[in-house]
Amino acid sequence: MKTLLVPLDSSVGTALVLSVAESLARSLPAKVVLFHAIEPISSYVPVGAGMDVISTSPMPIEPEQVEDSKNRLEALAAPLRAAGIDVACEAVMGLAVTEILDQARSLAADYIVLGSHGHGAIYHLFGGSVVTGVLKHSPCPVVVVPVRG
């Protein structure tokens, strides 16, 4: 059985990403791992810095934040489970790209399925892109679902 890692950010495109993941899971067949990285808030950001230069200092993990995220993922998993798909849920604190890649490696994921919001060049210049970071360093194929919202 294959493994699909499905990072979610609770955005408007979540339903579409889940739909694509469900379709892939049925056709492969595959286990689905719903995943959310709770990004820490940096207290200091140098002027003009991109996401690649911001490091996170050790932050206390807020168990309630992780638990809330996991509960949201479990709610999203319920319809997939009802449809007979094997689903696991995982939430962690950390930078999205790093955590997605770490999770993909630890699961030996066969595919990563994630949404792209289609932000413009200025957004990517200052904020970077999770999709771009994952595509550059992924240990497995990445399915990008275009999400407009």
Task: Write down the pLDDT at residue 127.
Answer: 45
Q: What distance in Å separates the CA atoms of residue 140 and residue 32, rounded to the nearest whole number? A: 15
Question: What are the domain boundaries of the chain?
Answer: 2-41+60-146
The architecture CATH gives domain 2-41+60-146 = 3-Layer(aba) Sandwich (3.40)
pLDDT digits (tens, 9 = 90+) for 22-63: 999 999 999 999 999 998 765 555 566 555 555 555 555 578
Per-residue pLDDT of 70-98, as tens digits, reads 999 999 999 999 999 999 999 999 999 99
pLDDT of residue 92: 95
Looking at residue 1, its pLDDT comes to 92
Q: What value does the mean pLDDT of the chain take? A: 85
Quick: pLDDT tens for 108-146.
999 999 998 765 554 444 446 899 999 999 999 999 999
